[in-house]
Amino acid sequence: MATHPTDTKQDLEKILQEWDNPGQAVIPMFHYFMERENYVSPEALELIGQITGFSQSDLLGVGTFYQYFSFHKEGRHIIRVCLATPCVYCGGKGLLSALQKELGIGLDETTPDGVFSLKPAQCVGQCHEAPTLVIDTNIHNNVTPGEIPALLKQYREGKVSPQPAVPMGPPLVNEPVVFTGLKAKETLWIDRYESAGGYAMLREIMAAKDRTRIMNEIESSGLSGRGGGAFPMAPKLKNVMKNPKPHYVVANADEGEPGTFKDRYIMERDPHSFIEGMILASYAIDADAGYIYLREEYPHSYQILLKALDEARAKGYLGKNILGTGWDYDIRIYRGGGAYICGEDSSLLNSLEGKRGTPRNKPPRLSDIGLWKKPTDVNNVETFAAIPRILKEGGAWYKSLGDEKSAGTKLFCLSGNIRRPGIYEVPLGATLRHLIEELGGGVPEGRKFKAVLPAGSASSMLYPVQMDMALDYPTVKAAGAFLGAASLIVMDDSVCMVDLAFWMSGFYHHESCGQCTPCRDGTEDIHEVLQKIVMGEGELSHLEFIKSLGEYMRTASICGLGTSAPNIPISSIEHFEEEWREHILDHRCRTGICSMSRKKLVDFPVRRSRGLLADLPLFHPQEG
């Protein structure tokens, strides 16, 4: 039911007061209307403009950047089918076809009765239970095409309620070392967290007002960023400290890399370890405010974090004069709008300021000029969540858990063609064989291990000859790949490596922010060439074109999206050239995945603005 206009205006004015300036309030206002009406109407846009002072063109310039915001009327229920790599290789394409057949529509269309709209999703963090689709905020995992008619019937008849905010998926598979809370089947709320020793380090350090101890232990632990960059945390904190105040701390919870779901596990199962770690890091640098930038695709995490933050405030761990120290500090959650690029730290800060999430040129470093052009520490959820245990056991203890090249443990996400998918805590330096065969159980029976993506879609592949490689940051980098967030997508011999490159090129073309020419045009050109190859229209010269253009993108792109985009196509060509030649010369795909025909092509949805018209270019995979 639509809110009365007077109430709506009051609600928007309240949102305006909650944020630092009108620009930062715009994205929360978009969320307000999406939650109530499934789109931002022209009337809503006009009202937002009146309250914030922004023109409609300015508002649309921000809003259409994010794929979760719609500016034309949608169905009563919005279905988002995950098209990221783990879901695609576990039946995602078949799920999409079943949805289209049952609904009679393509992507970005609405059924004639106005009940359902069908949209793509680029990883919803349920990779170990793929394939996945999301209806409204309800997450449905391991869905088969045969289940689609009955599931949609339930929604049509109004028999489905919003899911409760509980952890999704089974607990951590192996025995934890640092992240003991991940063995819980339910959320560890503050009473249980404190009974297990939670917040004890925060109370002890604040009683002594010992900021130096926090910094010393983090430095001696060798803790580095766990979101992909692996940059040591202590130097970032020290650089913020040396700059004039105000200081900000931002948690990057925009976990959008396909195959990655570790941060979601922390936020849903053990949120207070993350919150305590963030408070400790903030106290170390005398931060003035903290923000959690959370991806829109995590509705359960959002509700759980809201409650956990309220619990921390009620206990005096957040707010004014925390534990009698005279230090005022609070943490707020800022939800994104669905943009892979916002996982990049500077893009995230631009989005947090209420802008389009485009990356910044570096230097300057964010620890010098970050949020609101002030010194800012940005770190990953897993990084912050390790800090309480480091303070309890000591930095030397944590460092000893890894090998001589990389300190500590790492949460590894296993998905794809693997018998025991899930989340594992493993010491850095363990071998690829240990992770895939001993912990993950290897590939399904009757198949052969072909390759693994060690960092979701971002890295070049690792291969069977590298099974005894140590999984630490320098070793993987020396092999021409990188570990990133340790989201391992395992592939067996049922996977076509040309199709993998094609699908990944579509993903990057869709997710490019379009700011820099090498990435904007490069992702489009590579995808168009790969499209020709999988349709049976490729030429051998295309292979050199992909390599040449890819090297240019690696050199000239502003951020990691553009430099990473060509990694999978290039490594696939280098290590599986025979498959590429079969596609080009013999017009044959040995797995039968590639259509080798224009008529049968199933393509990734193209990147486009979520504009004002409902009849924008549509996507219709052909049957037969």
Look up residue 162 and give its DSSP letter. Answer: P
Looking at residue 258, its amino acid is: P
Residue ranges of the chain with per-residue pLDDT less than 50: 1-3, 608-624
How far is 543 from 571, CA to CA, in rounded Å?
A: 11
Residues 6+ apart with CB under 8 A from 74: 38, 39, 110, 117
The structure tokens listed for 127 are 């990779």
* Per-residue confidence (pLDDT) for residue 151, from 0 to 100: 97
Q: 3-class DSSP state for residue 159? A: coil
Q: 3-class DSSP state for residue 559? A: coil
The alpha carbon dihedral of 568, 574, 578, 581 has a sign of positive
How far is 37 from 332, CA to CA, in rounded Å?
A: 25
* Per-residue confidence (pLDDT) for residue 602, from 0 to 100: 74
* Per-residue confidence (pLDDT) for residue 599, from 0 to 100: 79
Look up residue 426 and give its DSSP letter. Answer: E
List the beta bridge partners of residue 413.
423, 487
How far is 132 from 122, CA to CA, in rounded Å?
A: 11
- Say how many CA atoms lie within 13 Å of 287 toward its Cβ: 28
Q: Which fold has domain 180-400?
A: Rossmann fold (3.40.50)
How far is 177 from 387, CA to CA, in rounded Å?
A: 13
How far is 371 from 250, CA to CA, in rounded Å?
A: 9
Looking at the chain, the domain(s) classified CATH 3.10.20.600 span: 409-490
Asked whether the beta carbons of 72 and 34 are under 8 A apart, the reply is no
Q: Which fold has domain 497-586?
A: de novo design (two linked rop proteins) (1.20.1440)
* Per-residue confidence (pLDDT) for residue 624, from 0 to 100: 34
3-state percent breakdown (helix, strand, coil) of the chain, nearest 5:
45, 10, 40
Tell me if the pTM is above 0.85.
Answer: yes
Beta-sheet pairing, 422-427 with 248-253:
unpaired
Task: Supply the CATH classification number for the domain 409-490.
Answer: 3.10.20.600
Residues 6+ apart with CB under 8 A from 128: 86, 169, 261, 413, 414, 415, 421, 422, 423
CB atoms within 10 A of CB 504: 29
Looking at the chain, the domain(s) classified CATH 1.20.1440.230 span: 497-586
Which of 121, 124, 135 is closest to 66 using CA atoms?
121
H or E element that contains 269: helix 262-269
Looking at the chain, the domain(s) classified CATH 3.40.50.11540 span: 180-400
The alpha carbon dihedral of 377, 383, 385, 390 has a sign of negative
User: Can you spell out the DSSP letters for 126-157?
Assistant: -GGG-SEEEETTEEEES--GGGHHHHHHHHHT
